[in-house]
Structure 1
Amino acid sequence: MIEVESLTKRHGDVLAVDDLSLTVEPGEIFGILGPNGAGKTTAVECIAGLHRPDSGRVRVLDLDPVRDRARLRRVLGVQLQHGNLPDALKVGEAVALYHSFYAESADPAKLMADLNLTHLQNSRYSTLSGGEAQRLSIALALIGKPRIAILDELTTGLDPQSRRDTWDLIAQIRDTGVTILLVTHFMDEAERLCDRVAVIDRARLIALDTPADLIARVDAPQRVHVKTATPLDPAVFADADITGIVHNGDRTTLTGGGNLLHTVTVTLLAHGITATETRLEEATLEDAFLALTGRRFE
């Protein structure tokens, strides 16, 4: 669906994208993950034909995004991070306007209903909440029935519930057969949604793999957090594969390897100890980023 080979792009003296290569397969949610300023948006704007690369090759459905921009617009939907609309424009007017751009398009009424926008059709853009504006931007990206949708920093500035609602929308879009290129700096978002992730830092690609395989590269111990009526006696775990125990009142954090959660649960049951809370803490994409770059994700 998308092929990028040795893409390089500068903005003045700033090297925004440095020798980026990747491919996106049909039906994927493919994530481009990295901190703010890493070069993610510049990369996808080159893929969308909004910037001409300084060097390298980009193909989207075998089209050159710059030379074949008019043809590409028929198959590519784009929601950009800074794609604000005029304040006075109403939701229904925006959808109707974008609908008029395409010879073949989605049913505007159905699309608005699917994205919970129908009741907002007479609302001006300036009055929309962050989540409502994001749902409208998704509608405008999908109105042309694209084969590929580029969604750039879709959940920035949203409250937790709106973020999760938007995640559900992204999964629903993929289920209709649309390939999604998702740009984000949220680790949990990429971990939950993406089939594969390209991690970009300081303009360069530093890793490309599934979230699970990126996390598997991290040599980090597991932790199980347990709450009990009284502090646990370390002697209980004398025969278990436990490398560390830290008490904090009625809460205990146990560190170890293997199937740690199973080990802790079986040991507690064997000693007749009831845990009122048990939580497993494993390595995350943020841990993977730290392992790959030597610095915290910012």
Structure 2
Amino acid sequence: MFQKKEFHLILSIFAHIFLRMIIVKTKEEIELMRESALVVSRTLGMLAKEVKPGVTTLQLDKLAEEYIREQGAIPGFLGLYDFPNTLCMSPNSQIVHGFPTNEPLKEGDIISIDCGAIKNEYYGDHAYTFAVGEIAPEIQKLLDVTKESLYLGIRELKVGNRVGDVGYAIQKFCEDHGYGVVRELVGHGLGKKMHEDPEMPNYGKRGRGKKFIDGMVVAIEPMINMGTHRIKQHRDGWTITTLDNKPSAHFEHDVAILDGKPELLSTFAYVYEALGIVSNEEDEFRQKALVL
């Protein structure tokens, strides 16, 4: 017979194990999650037309909230962990979790826009780093490398691989370009909660970590700094900046493992349509063509 103290210890162990379990989704649930992800994708596409010198991030935040609600969804970040806005808006040396403000964007800035939405009880969570007007070539290279690393990571998300395989692919590519890979902030599982198991670091060793299985849905989101990987958290409890105040880039996709392979649920196609960009980078991660 267990003593009361032992019983509570066993319960806490089982609770910890249960709470850290990967929640596998059915194909039907994944299609519902695709709808949630595409709400966010369309919102980022709408915002792509509005990101320009002189606009404030609070103006963009208001547009996003209205647009998400027009799509029959709920802003996923608003009120989550007491966050006060619809968008995380992180310009220049801010990495993530920045607050929208009344300060106008300036020519040459970059701005990470991270957006969440809830539809069909499931979260979508998706981010893109935008150039504000013309940006310096070395900053454009940071954006290009970070986005390319996202797809290198996604390619490793398949049955039989492990979390470390994704992190290794992202880390090696970015560090080979001389960039810092943030350690303290990671991607995550996604579902009826914004943050589910497993955590998805952007660094790691091949063959390490949890093994991927069919039905997993994760948000992969490289956060890559032009200089040091080290960060600074501000007193507001949210804003994260690079320690050396050099620029940081952030791109994020929602991805499922479907029939053993990665399947993109989100898309940058709406952003590219708004910006006049032609790209086939997502084609290998779709079992059927995306209809805009």
TM-score by length of structure 2 reads: 0.26
TM-score by length of structure 1 reads: 0.26
Structure label with greater radius of gyration? 1
